[in-house]
Amino acid sequence: MSRILIRKLIIQGLMYRRTIEFNEGLTIISGEKTSGKSLVLSLIDYCFGKSGKIDLSVQKELASHCDEVFLEMKINDEVITLRRPIKENQTKISIYFCAFEELDTYTPRVFGIKEAMKFLMRKLNINEYKLIKNKKHSNEKEIESISFRDIFRYVYIHQHELGTNNFLQNIDAFKRYKNPHAFKLMFNLVEADKNELSDSLVRTENEIEETKKDISGLVSYLKDKDAEDRIGLQAKSDKFIESIDEQKKIKTAIISNSKSNSNNENEMYIKLKKDLELITNEIYDYQSKKKQIQLSINSKKLLLEEYNIEQAEVDATLEVNYKLVISEQQIECPLCNSNVVNTTSEVEGESKNSEKMLRNVKKEITNKIVLVTNLMKHEMKNIEEMDIHIKRLTKKQNLFNEAIVEFTKETDVPFLSQIDSINVMINRLIKDHEMIKEGLRIHHKIDEKKNHIIGLEATALRYKNELNDLQVNEEYKEEVFSFLDKEYKKIMYRLKYNTDGATYIDVESHIPYFEGASVYVHESGGLLECMQLSYLGAILISKVENYALGHPGFLLLDSISKYFGTLKKNDQEEEKLDVEKTVTQEEVKSILDEKSKINDPEVYQELYEILIELSDNHQIILVENTPPEKVDKYTKYTFLSGKHGLVDLSQNELTDMN
Q: For residue 179, how many other CB atoms are within 10 A of its CB?
A: 22
Helices (H) and strands (E) in the chain, counts: 15, 18
pLDDT of residue 239: 83
Q: What is the DSSP string of 126-165?
A: ---EEEEEEPTTSS-EEEEEE-HHHHHTTTEE-TTTTTST
**Is the Cβ–Cβ distance between 397 and 277 less than 8 Å?**
no
**Is the Cβ–Cβ distance between 612 and 28 less than 8 Å?**
no
Domain 4-191+471-483+506-534+544-651 architecture: 3-Layer(aba) Sandwich (3.40)
Give pLDDT tens digits for 417-475: 666 677 777 777 777 777 777 778 788 888 877 887 887 777 777 767 765 655 557 78
Rounded mean pLDDT of 297-301?
A: 82
Q: What is the mean pLDDT of the chain?
A: 80
Q: Rounded to whole angstroms, how far apart are CA atoms 628 and 611?
A: 13
pLDDT of residue 362: 82
Rounded mean pLDDT of 47-76?
A: 90
Of 196, 223, 73, whose CA–CA distance to 129 is shortest? 196
pLDDT of residue 264: 42
Domain ranges of the chain: 4-191+471-483+506-534+544-651, 223-323+351-456
Of 272, 270, 247, 269, whose CA–CA distance to 411 is shortest? 269
Give pLDDT tens digits for 614-650: 999 999 999 998 888 888 899 999 998 888 889 999 9
**Is the Cβ–Cβ distance between 160 and 560 less than 8 Å?**
no
Secondary structure of residue 622 in the 3-state scheme: strand
pLDDT of residue 138: 61
Size (the chain), residues: 658
The end-to-end CA distance of the chain, in Å, is 43
Where are the extended beta strands (E) located within 147-259?
156-157
Secondary structure of residue 18 in the 3-state scheme: strand
Residue 407 has pLDDT above 80, yes or no: no
Q: What pLDDT band is residue 284 in, cutting at 50, 70 and 90? A: confident
**Cα-based distances in Å from 41 to 93, 282, 429, 496, 528:** 18, 54, 41, 30, 22
Give pLDDT tens digits for 535-565: 999 999 999 999 998 999 999 999 888 787 6
- 423 DSSP 8-state letter: H
Give pLDDT tens digits for 564-612: 764 443 444 444 444 444 455 555 555 545 556 776 778 888 999 999 9
pLDDT of residue 466: 64
